[in-house]
Structure 1
Amino acid sequence: MKTVLRDVKTASQMMRRYYRAVKETMRAMAGYLPSMKSWETRKMLARHIWLDAMHADMLRSRTLDLRYPRVDVDEDSDAHLIKLLHQLPNAATDEQFVAGIYRVIKPALLAAFKTYMHNSDPLDDAPSHLYLQRIINELEQQQTDFETIRTSTGKAFADTRWETFLHSVLAASGGIDGLDLDPGEKYIPFLSRALYQLPEEGARDESWEPAVMQVPPRLPDNWIEHRIWVAIDHANEVWASETAAALIWEYDNKPWNLYYEAARCYDEMRHAMMGEARLASMGLQIGIDYPMVPDHWRTFRQRGIGALLLLLHGLEQRGPLHKSKLKQELFAVHDFDGAQDCDYDWADESGHITYGLSWLKSVFPGWQKLQIIEETNKLLAEWREWIERHHHEGTHGYAVFLSRIEAKAKLLKTEQSDTQVVFQPTVVTK
């Protein structure tokens, strides 16, 4: 005789609420990512957005299994819980936002998933158990990541009043695994606030030097500088991560597959981390010895996230060929780390081109292929002109960085250090 009884209807309703909770938490994290100042915390957020998208996808898939042939998993439901989650990015500070996610929402998700497994039949509901066990394991790792960030940054990422308030709103809304409830008039002022707006430019770590642009004002003189130039370009792919994440928040009610693909914003953060690691191995400190700057956003953000999407798509179309070329060049001078980074980078970019096209068709539904190409080329030309103008007029703000880079480069000795290089400048990439 079974010791646990839960019918399919109840299980499917719970799975759908779990899916919506994880999805909307992921969207809140994606929306806040461009505002996050702390570099270490930003890297953590990007990775967790990607993981949470996979978790939401598993929960969505299981919901559809249980509700077949119904396909209403993405229709309006759990409205009160979602209203709460939509308010998370309205936190007053980075610390408050992180506390809300990692000290309130994610612990509540963990508790709900563990309770579900305890109160369900592991044979009848085996697929749910398989998915939830993986999700639980990865959420617990996320909480460990959070504790590591608290230690490494020296920031508490805690706000007792804010956390207590969120706990109360969450409970009044039915919690993670309860029925959706109207939390009552007490919480109307909080839940009816205007939704968070994306920043005008991506935030950067407060410890970094101010900068104007990422592209050096001259071509590299040798292979050592070439390696540095490529790595700086990699490190500044932060803007691409911000743009993909911004799409997830900016455009509500899009098909799930678009959000799932845009959650690969972590790919772009990985690329930035690749550049950071290579530059660190050469003795260059991030944001101090080389610029980390949201120059793409400063130039085009006022035209909307759609313009940044067009620019990103245009640059990524050139990515696979360019990065595969860089792989060969770096391998030839024994920069095996850089060569491998570029190899995996262009593999990522190949998929991103497809994702970008899907998003363009959704954001600009009335545009035909020719118009997409024309508008993209206009932005690419304008971007190159912006770079060239700052270089020509000497307003690139690179002097302090260039002097530090040149000093570091002189200390690096390789067999190819005297080899003269001739190639296209970094402006053709991201």
Structure 2
Amino acid sequence: MRVEIDNLGIPPLAGLCSYDEACKPGFSIDDNVALLRRFNYVKTRLHAIYSAHIARTPEWEVKSAFSLHLWLDAEHAASLRKRVSEMREPPLYLDKVPDPGLEKLMDELIRSDTTIELLTGIYAVIKPEMIRSIRRHLEETNPLTDQPTCRILKIILREEEEMQAWGEQALAALTREANDAALSRHWQEILRFYLLDAGGIFGDLLKPEMQHPAEPRSDGTRYEMDAMPRRDERFTDPFNRSAEIDAYYKDENRESDERTYALLYKRLREMDVPEWMGPILYKTTGKPWEYYTDISRQLWDEARHAMMGEVGLYAHGVAFYKYPIDISSSVSLNTRFEPLEAHTVLWAIEQGLMNKNTGKRWEWQIAQKSGHELATLFQDYDWADEVLHSQIGRKWLLPEYGSLENMQTQVEPLWVKWGDGSGNTKHVSNHKPWWNDFVQEIRERRDGTRQA
């Protein structure tokens, strides 16, 4: 039985829903928490998968997207964890496996061997199922009593759909050949079996009747990541260190335009930072989730900086992969350093960038004086980001070392170790000079004298 309510023509219930919609039973607190734990678990594992594969994934565009999606999944997990804490007193069991079936699924997914398998598992299996599960949660929960959850899920859903749209296009681009498409279908079939066996992320799907399609790749132990940075075949001579880019933009005897081009290339080169931060994230365990959201934000910012450089070269008519981008530094950090050591090196670099006479403020001034509006904008945001990153580094490293003095004493030996390791790759390249060709090409395209 319902009664007519005179609301003076004003939408009732703060516009959340109708009276009838607010009368549906929805989820109990226990059921709601159980579902959010499942969502959080998948988000947390996706974050680890991105972290484990950013370095070894060769396609620049995939590295860029993984950097963004890693941060978004970290933020989503943080929101879900907070919501659970609002509904239940500790212990919250947010770091416990909610379903052995989901664990098996994610253990197989992280062992994807190629970019095609990764994209298939994430964007053809997990993300569509996450979208379906969130939509069902929103449909079934009470929109009034559970409004805080609904708000969080609506935000997550929108960003999930954006991630999924990218993933579908990327997977389609890499599976144009019949053999690649067949590989994708086969891996999707295997992971789909595990997904169904777990009842889906929501837990409502029927278990498969078919036999297991393949032997599991996981032996039940933690996945050992491959931290070696890789670039695809478009990138030439990735260990070429002939260009002293940092020295070029600092050299006041060089023309202002060349100094700004050096800054754009420095931004481009920053893709090596996500490549060395991925292993830091994956290998560092047992931290509060705030640690992973903070470091993930920094990783995404660094990828964003590299894309600024990518756009800067595009604006000058130069493909970002045409000239060498040295990866020897990240190779050294990823193969010879423990996570704490690599993070300390990163913090030391950021501290050096805070100097107003030689750091980020100065870089912004160089771009500004050159009259290059786009580079000035990029440097402005790069400067702001690096201030944040310096704070993040101090926030999480100080407790490890006990004091700023102890932390600073570790920098010099780590700096030497890093330089020694970077030098080990010198023999991989003949270090053919290329910088002058790069600057000449940009100037000719700028002045309209470059022949097509």
TM range (shorter): 0.7 to 0.9
* SS class of match (1:90): coil
* SS class of match (2:110): helix
Q: In the alignment, residue 291 of structure 2 is paired with which amino acid?
A: L
Q: Any stretches of 5+ residues in structure 2 without a counterpart?
A: 1-19, 249-253, 448-452
- Residue equivalent to 1:91: 112
Is the 2:116–2:171 Cα contact (8 Å) retained in structure 1? no
CA distance in 1 between counterparts of 2:242 and 2:92 reads 47
Is the 1:217–1:398 Cα contact (8 Å) retained in structure 2? no
Is the 1:34–1:198 Cα contact (8 Å) retained in structure 2? no
* SS class of match (2:149): helix
CA distance in 2 between counterparts of 1:304 and 1:62 reads 34
Is the 1:104–1:167 Cα contact (8 Å) retained in structure 2? yes
| Counterpart selection for 2:225 from 195, 198, 203 | 198
Q: Does 1:276 align with 2:297?
A: no
Question: How far apart are 1:302 and its partner, in Å?
Answer: 1.8
Question: Which one is further off, 38-47 or 401-410?
Answer: 401-410
CA distance in 1 between counterparts of 2:152 and 2:443 reads 53
Is the 2:273–2:330 Cα contact (8 Å) retained in structure 1? no
Is the 1:224–1:412 Cα contact (8 Å) retained in structure 2? no
Q: Does 1:329 align with 2:349?
A: no
Question: How far apart are 1:142 and its partner, in Å?
Answer: 1.1
1:223-372 map, 5 Å: 223-264=256-297, 265-289=299-323, 291-300=324-333, 301-321=335-355, 322-361=359-398, 365=400, 368-372=403-407
CA distance in 2 between counterparts of 1:139 and 1:342 reads 30
Question: Which one is further off, 1-10 or 265-274?
Answer: 1-10
Structure 1 residues 70-109: Cα deviation after superposition (integer angstroms, max 9, x where no partner): 2424342325223432432211211101110000011111
| Counterpart selection for 1:377 from 400, 412, 426 | 412
Question: How far apart are 1:360 and its partner, in Å?
Answer: 2.9
CA distance in 2 between counterparts of 1:73 and 1:354 reads 30
Is the 1:320–1:347 Cα contact (8 Å) retained in structure 2? no
Is the 2:52–2:227 Cα contact (8 Å) retained in structure 1? no
Is the 1:90–1:195 Cα contact (8 Å) retained in structure 2? no
1:28-427 map, 5 Å: 28-67=49-88, 69-78=89-98, 80=100, 81-150=102-171, 159-178=184-203, 189-213=216-240, 216-217=243-244, 219-220=247-248, 221-264=254-297, 265-289=299-323, 291-300=324-333, 301-321=335-355, 322-361=359-398, 365=400, 368-381=403-416, 383=418, 397-411=430-444
CA distance in 1 between counterparts of 2:386 and 2:219 reads 40
Question: How far apart are 1:369 and its partner, in Å?
Answer: 3.3
* SS class of match (1:263): helix
Q: Any stretches of 5+ residues in structure 1 without a counterpart?
A: 415-430
* SS class of match (1:87): helix
Is the 2:138–2:150 Cα contact (8 Å) retained in structure 1? yes
Is the 1:211–1:397 Cα contact (8 Å) retained in structure 2? no
Using a 3 Å threshold, how does the CA distance of structure 1 residues 341 and 71 change in structure 2: closer, same or farther?
farther
| Root-mean-square deviation over aligned CA pairs | 3.2
Q: TM-score, normalised by structure 2?
A: 0.81
Larger Cα-atom Rg: 2
Using a 3 Å threshold, how does the CA distance of structure 1 residues 298 and 3 change in structure 2: closer, same or farther?
closer
Is the 2:40–2:80 Cα contact (8 Å) retained in structure 1? yes
CA distance in 2 between counterparts of 1:396 and 1:369 reads 39
Question: How far apart are 1:15 and its partner, in Å?
Answer: 1.1
